[in-house]
Amino acid sequence: MTRVHTPLTSGRLPEGQEKARAVRVMFDAIAPRYDLVNRIMTLRMDVRWRRHTVTALQLRSGSTVLDLACGTGDLCRELSRRGLSPVGVDFSAGMLAAARTTSPLVRADVLRLPVRDATADGVTCGFALRNLVALDAFADELARVVRPGGRIALLETAEPPNPVVRWGHGIYFGKVVPRVGGWLSDPDAYRYLPRSAAYLPAPDELVALFRRAGFPDLRRTQLAGGIAQLLTGTRQ
């Protein structure tokens, strides 16, 4: 596989439009084996986390849910299986081409959604917050497109609070994941993955950001000892 050389593979973490371009190029390249690598490096825990995410939406059957940064459609498939009506949105053409879902897919920037105000019953997003250029703009966009009473469920990586678990997770995430990604896909891209966690604000700041945007009851739940987190809330 051709290795992807972008600003993400250098020693620094890019910002702004440079980050957006680099992330898009990276995901275009790793799309063909993205699901395989995810299953292996999470020991299939990502499947259980996505099921938990959809359950946490607490929406009625038939509700319209935007799955943002949908990738290959994992969450879309789970949403459909639960009787919901997902629409996947991603800016990576490679990911959309590799998608394994029958749900409608739209290529678009999740910070500027081609959706009218207050038209979505819910929003999901899996492991993409750290790849966004501006989290505050993303929160504002969710508040715009989700109807009052609608729900959001955002799944993301996290740093475990327990020091022993954090130490072990640091070794696994920092050493094992890049090696597995290098064997099966692009090594530079999977070296970026552990470093990308630095883009995420502290948990309290992350919760406060979405509460200010219009989800005052937003709650953060730790998953699997804190190696992942789920943010859920209701549009005011």
- CATH code (residue 93): 3.40.50.150
**β-bridge partners, 107:** 90
Residue 47 resides in a domain: yes
Q: Give yes or no for a contact between 200 and 206, defined as CB atoms under 8 angstroms apart.
A: yes
Q: Considering the entire predicted model, what is its pTM?
A: 0.91
pLDDT of residue 76: 98
Q: Which residues contact 102 (CB under 8 A, 6 or more apart)?
A: 80
The set of residues, in sequence order, having a beta carbon less than 8 Å from that of 178 and lying 6+ positions away, is 187, 190, 191, 193, 194
| Domain presence at residue 174 | no
Under DSSP, the state recorded for 73 is S
Phi, psi (deg, nearest 5) at residue 89: -130, 130
Residue 204's pLDDT is what?
97
Structural domain span for residue 47: 7-162+189-234
CA dist 170 to 65, 96, 174, Å? 34, 31, 6
Residue 114 burial (10 A CB sphere; 0-12, 13-18, 19+): exposed
CA 199 to mean position of chain CA atoms: 13
User: Residue 153 domain-assigned?
Assistant: yes
pLDDT score at 1: 46
**Domain assignment present for 175:** no
- Asked if 75 and 86 count as a contact pair (C-beta separation under 8 A), the reply is yes
22 found inside a domain: yes
pLDDT tens series, the chain, 236 aa? 445 455 555 567 889 999 999 899 988 988 888 888 878 888 888 999 999 999 999 999 999 999 999 999 999 999 999 999 999 999 999 999 999 999 999 999 999 999 999 999 999 999 999 999 999 999 999 999 999 999 999 999 999 999 999 898 888 878 887 787 777 777 777 788 778 889 999 999 999 999 999 999 999 999 999 999 999 999 99
Q: Which pair of tokens denotes residue 140? A: 């504002």
The rounded radius of gyration (Å) of the Cα atoms in the chain is: 17
Structural domain contains residue 102: yes
Query: Considering the domain boundaries, does residue 59 fall inside one?
Result: yes
Helices 45-57 and 34-41: crossing angle in degrees, nearest 10, is: 100
Instruction: State how many domains the chain has.
Output: 1
**Contact residues for 153 (Cβ-Cβ < 8 A; gap 6+):** 53, 54, 56, 57, 122, 123, 124, 125, 230, 231, 232
73 within 8 A of 50, measured Cβ to Cβ: no
What is the pLDDT, as a whole number, of residue 10?
56
Residue 6: predicted pLDDT: 55
**Within-domain flag for 93:** yes
What is each CA distance from 51 to 47, 61, 76, 124, in whole angstroms? 6, 15, 11, 11
